[in-house]
Structure 1
Amino acid sequence: MIDFWLAAGLLLLVALSFLLIPVLRGRRAQLEADRTALNVALYQERVAELAEEREEGVLSDAQLESGRAEAARELLADTEGAQEVRVSRLGKPLPILAAVLVPVLGLGLYLHFGASDKVELSREFAQAPTSMQDMTQRLERAVAAQPDSPEGLYFLGRTYMTQNRPADAAKLFERTIALAGRQPELLGQWAQARYFANGKRWSDELQALTDEALKADPKEVTSLGLLGIAAFESERYQDAIDNWTRLLELLPANDTSRSALEGGIKRASDKLLASGGSVKAAPALASEARMKVRVELAASLKARVKADDSVFIFARASSGPPMPLAVKRVTVADLPIEVELSDSDAMMPQLKLSKFPEVQLVARVSRAGQPTKGEWIGRSQPLASSTTALQHVVIDTPEP
């Protein structure tokens, strides 16, 4: 911040110069006026002395006039170059008062409305942290400077969890949910933090949180892992196996946590067998939604489109967010074409075909290459997202 305050000080000096220079000039002009008045008084005194000497007969008329002319020349020489005194209507105290109040007022306003703390944080985050403690302190300052930022609250909560501070993390996740809404991932993180802050004691409130998260997203990994941990701690080994197995199916093949998860499943299986029970196969996850559609261009439009015009084929929820759930892009030259839309084509992970019971298939020709706006469009009737039969969409309607 040193360079910031140096720049601010330089600007302050410039501002003060505009206020104080007129005052200093006024003082100089006043000195010049005082000197001129003194010269005039001396001139008048000299002329009076010459007149007295003429009356006394010491000087002749010619000498009197010569003396007056000499005194006048001396007065002119002394006053030459003096400027006319400007009288300020504002008065002298006002600029000085302003010179004092402007920086004080400016500093006060900046400290109240300014963002020096955010500037400093931006400078800090531009550099790599030296330690986990350094990162934690930066996040804490960021949250203090922006208490309504769900991103800052979330990341600080995750950091507290890695430092075994679940109670602090739970408070931050609760604030994050209040700002960002009850998203499945946030509900899972909140439930997990509360579980560990509660001394690994399960409760109806935690069950409700995980149920809500998995109802919105059956593949919410934090909730699945937490349910497995809670079941294992309460010796419900089959429930632990079921939840951990579902979680294992969701993790990438190269995920480093797979080995620990597989070890947990084996321990739960061994304990279940040792207690005289038998291990049952975990219920399968809901299958990925896949919809096949054949897109054609109406014969009446073939002469009005270009081969390289973009064609966007997508599915969107009949009742839900307006953004597409799955998208494919081709060109007019590719038509007619058969494509498959699935969860893997989702634009956002939380908006997938399998999460919405009813969707509509849409195909749009857009010369500008914009998926949300084009020249011609075709739509299907509302369909169940589990539909597997081939659907047909004809692009035949001009868009307004």
Structure 2
Amino acid sequence: MVALWVGAVALFVIAALFIFWPLWRYGAQKNNISVIDVDARLAENVRLFHEHIAELETHLAAGRIDAEQFAQLKLEQERALLDDEANIRAAQQTRRLNVGVATFAVVAVVAVLSTYVLYRELGSSADVEIRIAQLEKQYLDNRDYQIGKDPDPARTREMISLIEERLEDNPDQLQYWFLLARMYMDVSDFGKATNAYLQVLERDKESAMVMAEAAQAMFLRDGSKINPAAADLVHKALKVEPDNIMALGLAGIEAFGKQNYLEAIKYWGRTVKLTGADSPGGQALVAGIERAAGLFFANGGTQEQLDAARDGRHIAVNVLLASDVKVGPDQLVFVYARAWQGAKMPLAIARFKVSELPKRVVLTESMAMTDSMTLATVDKVELVARVSQDGTATAKAGDWQGSIGPIDSAAAPADLQITIGEQVAP
């Protein structure tokens, strides 16, 4: 902000020099003739003119000059008289310039002050200040992240204060309401974040992103509960943008809360397909899907109903641990499907701890590592279940595993089972 005003002042000084320099220069010349009595000067010139004419007439009468010479000399005297009068009038006008300079100086000062006041009232100085503060906050936050430190929330609160002040003057600035909502989310003020998001929706009623974020703010404000208003926003967002990840996750939470476990599995399965099963959010959703499936079965649901509700191909397998296998309860188990012939990259993969065995695992298209290699891209697969010694997905000597195959990926039996009981050779 300081740089803006310094630049403005510098431009004003340059402009003033272009105008005041000529005025000052001619004003200095004016001071040299300010004591001249214009009328007396003119009268003296006229007197001298008549004296010269009288002398010429005397010379003409004495025959020293002829009539033609007399006329020429008289004309020259008349021209000299007119030139002197013009110079005296110009000097008189220069004297009056003093008033013009003073007036201009006053007008210039008034113009500068008026410009400053009008810019403060009607200009974008507040927007410039917010932008500068935002850039500084981003720089400092990124620096904190690089050294493993959480950003100072005081910066966010300072931004909130600046935006709130700006919105008091201009409450229809949609981008500031949206930015304010996210700032409130950053400081966990979910009530004010909700209100800010609703202000955005009053001005942009068709934004799926804003609907989903507003529903999330309501969800957090209400203690991780989906109220009717939030649910309405979620379903409106999905109508506008069916692949909105945030809305899909919230829709699954709503369905789960209503004990509609098949719907929850459907929404969360779609989310995992979009985000990937290996992402942090994807892993949590896979666990949620498994929990929803367990509750579905506990409430009398059947595997056929669950399979019918899933999107795309899926393979369910029961994973057991042989009694003579000695592994720790916190070791990771990887269960995956890979092509029976061809590349060995997993087409679908799940992981969990040994302590959860025995466990029924459902591998789906959404659990693929890439969109180009899923259960739908091959006809025959091999299922592998392995206990990792070092927590990585790559098989190493000493790991325990089991496998079955080939399995028809389009019509896998419902009673598949893998027993982990073979140790990977060195």
- Compute the TM-score of the two structures, normalised by the length of structure 2: 0.47
Pick the structure with more helix per residue: 2
Mark the structure with the bigger radius of gyration: 2
